[in-house]
């Protein structure tokens, strides 16, 4: 049942939204947080399990050091303080997807706390920076996954039976929690989306997670409340779960604003509850009621030692952090002389790092960008490859560009050479040789081809002579076709004009 909503602009004119975002990131460690089981996604159910992650009687956790290192690096990248000393805690509640019926998490002693992330969004007054305050980033383990069989909704209600897959149980998670985000006004949806996008870029840059929202390696819960004015006290919040794309983050905030506003205006109160987001219909529905009195009986995990990262280690990790993606982006825009729109194309292609690598190998930025966002993106798309998996190295691109600038290859032939590369036909030079890719530089065959083209369309010579130089295109095209693309189009044009006695 869809609930009543109010027009967004009207809602914003009446209320001030306050956001809170909780993001869970699955770390890309090879093994789980407390055991040696694989973390690879998509294995047959209950095959990546052992006594530890199944919580069998007697089994004990042993901490994954890479998990801790990743948590510290994430904390540093989010401008957090790193705890001198912290502990895990047990969060106790019964649920079949939790093998031990407690989750090993962190409670009042998170590994990272008090940070922020600046995000830029377009506003009516131009591009503007919002600072999102971060309360904490803490380590915990993921739960297993329930699937409910039978029944209409795939939910537990009405299901015939339920299955549990514990492959995911024990995969390291970092939960990143913002403080209440205020002062966004009508831009709350955009700020939320920009925050998650910026966070995703940072995590990808750190190499700590594959941050695939659709596979659940980055999951976002959206908390939202409305208050009458920025001076009023915080209103009751709802927590929307399952918001699994950037677009949904924006839509979910927008939807909750309109839903809260309608309720509040009608004199209804907001129920503090967990809500489920539905990507298809763009609405959320009520889940379980949640109260602050929910008692997880947290206490320090006695099976694990406290973690006291040395300051030397923390500083080492800080020094080795990659450049902040937003800062780097600004730098590259300036270095490469791009517009923001061009940069968006680059970032959206997923090839930013590949282009940076090509440029550092000596390829001109414009050329590297052209190949990666153009031909190579197309090839990846046609062949169902991730752009990162396209087997073209910076050295390949550099050689290709050398051949183009020497005139040995033209654009069309270069594209064929790339096809050859991706098909595994050897290196650029071998492909050029094997496929016979070479610009025809001898004028003889070109003149013969020009004559043939002019003979086939007798009127065109006169048209060109009369000054309509654009008509030359059809002749050049015919010559290129006749030489199977191996002619230098500029030379053909030159020869044609010479022959007809016209000058450009």
Q: Which of 299, 405, 411, 448 binds another protein (CB under 8 A)?
A: 299
Question: Does 154 contact another protein by CB under 8 A?
Answer: no
**Of 292 and 386, which has the nearer Cβ to another protein?**
292
What are the CA-CA distances from residue 17 to residues 112, 232, 256, 294, 492 (Å)? 27, 11, 10, 25, 65
What are the CA-CA distances from residue 231 to residues 17, 266, 373 (Å)? 12, 22, 48
The pairing of strands 273-278 and 238-243 is parallel
Question: Does 304 contact another protein by CB under 8 A?
Answer: yes
Find the radius of gyration of the CA atoms of the chain. 30
Cα–Cα dist 492/45, whole Å: 63
Q: Which stretch binds another protein (CB under 8 A): 290-298, 341-349, 380-388, 456-464?
A: 290-298
Half-sphere exposure of 245 (CA within 13 A, CB side): 8
User: Other CB atoms closer than 10 Å to residue 454's CB: what's the count?
Assistant: 19
What are the CA-CA distances from residue 33 to residues 109, 117, 164, 165, 250 (Å)? 18, 26, 20, 17, 31
- Residue by residue, what is the 3-state secondary structure of 385-422? CCHHHCCCCHHHHHHHHHHHHCCCCCHHHHHHHHHHHH
> What kind and span of H or E run contains 200?
helix 188-206
Q: Which stretch binds another protein (CB under 8 A): 97-105, 232-240, 378-386, 436-444?
A: 97-105
Q: Which of 2, 4, 40, 60 binds another protein (CB under 8 A)?
A: 60
**Of 205 and 300, which has the nearer Cβ to another protein?**
300
Q: Which stretch binds another protein (CB under 8 A): 8-16, 76-84, 95-103, 403-411?
A: 95-103
3-state secondary structure of 450: helix
Q: Which of 17, 20, 28, 61 binds another protein (CB under 8 A)?
A: 61
Question: Does 149 contact another protein by CB under 8 A?
Answer: no
**Of 166 and 255, which has the nearer Cβ to another protein?**
166
3-state secondary structure of 381: helix
Cα–Cα dist 493/171, whole Å: 63
**Of 88 and 336, which has the nearer Cβ to another protein?**
88
Question: Does 101 contact another protein by CB under 8 A?
Answer: yes
Least spacing, CB of residue 106 vs another protein, in Å? 15
Cα–Cα dist 172/495, whole Å: 67
Question: Does 96 contact another protein by CB under 8 A?
Answer: yes
Question: Does 302 contact another protein by CB under 8 A?
Answer: yes
**Of 133 and 300, which has the nearer Cβ to another protein?**
300
Place of tokens 């009023």: 232
Q: Which of 1, 42, 58, 267 binds another protein (CB under 8 A)?
A: 58
Cα–Cα dist 416/60, whole Å: 57
Place of tokens 């995911």: 168
Q: Which of 32, 48, 87, 90 binds another protein (CB under 8 A)?
A: 90
Q: Do 227 and 18 contact (CB within 8 A), yes or no?
A: yes
Question: Does 55 contact another protein by CB under 8 A?
Answer: yes
Q: Which of 124, 295, 442, 504 binds another protein (CB under 8 A)?
A: 295
| Number of chain residues interacting with another protein (CB under 8 A) | 30
Question: Does 426 contact another protein by CB under 8 A?
Answer: no
**Of 197 and 304, which has the nearer Cβ to another protein?**
304
Question: Does 308 contact another protein by CB under 8 A?
Answer: no
Question: Does 94 contact another protein by CB under 8 A?
Answer: yes
**Of 140 and 250, which has the nearer Cβ to another protein?**
140
Kindly identify the residues of this chain, within the stretch 222-261, that bind another protein according to CB under 8 A: none
Question: Does 75 contact another protein by CB under 8 A?
Answer: no
Question: Does 56 contact another protein by CB under 8 A?
Answer: yes
Interface contacts to another protein, rule CB under 8 A = 51, 54-63, 90, 92, 94, 96, 99-102, 162, 164, 293, 295, 297-299, 302-305
């Amino acid at each position: 049942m869809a609930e009543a909503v109010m027009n967004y602009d009207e809602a914003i004119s009446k209320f001030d939204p306050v956001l809170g975002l909780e993001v869970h990131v699955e770390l890309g460690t090879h093994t789980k947080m407390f055991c040696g089981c694989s973390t690879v996604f998509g294995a047959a159910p209950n095959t990546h399990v052992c006594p530890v992650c199944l919580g069998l009687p007697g089994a004990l956790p042993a901490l994954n050091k890479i998990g801790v290192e990743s948590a510290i690096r994430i904390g540093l990248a989010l401008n957090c303080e790193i705890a001198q000393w912290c502990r895990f805690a047990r969060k106790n509640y019964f649920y079949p997807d939790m093998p031990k019926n407690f989750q090993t998490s962190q409670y009042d002693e998170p590994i990272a706390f008090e940070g922020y992330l600046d995000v830029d969004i377009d506003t009516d007054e131009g591009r503007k920076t919002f600072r999102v305050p971060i309360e904490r980033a803490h380590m915990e383990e993921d739960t297993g996954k329930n699937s409910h069989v039978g029944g209409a909704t795939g939910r537990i209600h009405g299901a015939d039976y339920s299955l549990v897959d514990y492959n995911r149980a024990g995969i390291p998670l970092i939960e990143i929690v913002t403080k209440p985000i205020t002062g966004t006004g009508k831009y709350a949806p955009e700020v939320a989306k920009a925050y998650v996008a910026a966070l995703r870029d940072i995590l990808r840059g750190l190499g700590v997670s594959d941050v695939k929202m659709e596979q659940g390696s980055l999951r976002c819960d959206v908390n939202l409340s409305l208050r009458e004015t920025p001076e009023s006290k915080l209103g009751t919040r709802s927590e929307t779960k399952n918001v699994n794309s950037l677009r949904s983050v924006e839509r979910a905030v927008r939807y909750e604003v309109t839903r809260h506003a309608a309720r509040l205006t009608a004199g209804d109160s907001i129920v503090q509850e967990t809500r489920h987001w539905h990507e298809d219909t763009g609405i959320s529905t009520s889940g379980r009621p949640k109260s602050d009195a929910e008692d997880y009986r947290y206490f320090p995990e006695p099976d694990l030692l406290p973690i006291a990262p040395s300051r030397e280690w923390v500083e080492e990790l800080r020094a080795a952090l990659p450049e902040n993606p937003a800062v780097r982006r600004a730098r590259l825009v300036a270095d490469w002389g791009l517009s923001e729109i061009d940069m968006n194309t680059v970032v959206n292609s997923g090839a930013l790092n590949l282009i940076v690598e090509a440029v550092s190998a000596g390829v001109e930025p414009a050329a590297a960008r052209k190949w990666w966002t153009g031909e190579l993106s197309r090839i990846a798309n046609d062949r169902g490859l991730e752009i990162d998996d396209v087997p073209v190295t910076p050295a390949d691109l550099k050689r290709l560009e050398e051949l183009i600038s020497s005139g040995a290859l033209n654009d069309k032939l270069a594209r064929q050479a790339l096809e050859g590369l991706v098909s595994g036909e050897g290196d650029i030079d071998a492909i050029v040789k094997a496929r016979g890719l070479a610009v025809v530089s001898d004028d003889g065959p070109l003149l013969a081809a020009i004559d043939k083209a002019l003979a086939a369309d007798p009127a065109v010579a006169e048209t060109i002579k009369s000054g309509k130089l654009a008509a030359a295109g059809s002749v050049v095209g015919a010559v290129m076709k006749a030489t199977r693309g191996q002619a230098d189009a500029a030379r053909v044009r030159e020869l044609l004009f010479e022959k007809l006695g016209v000058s450009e």
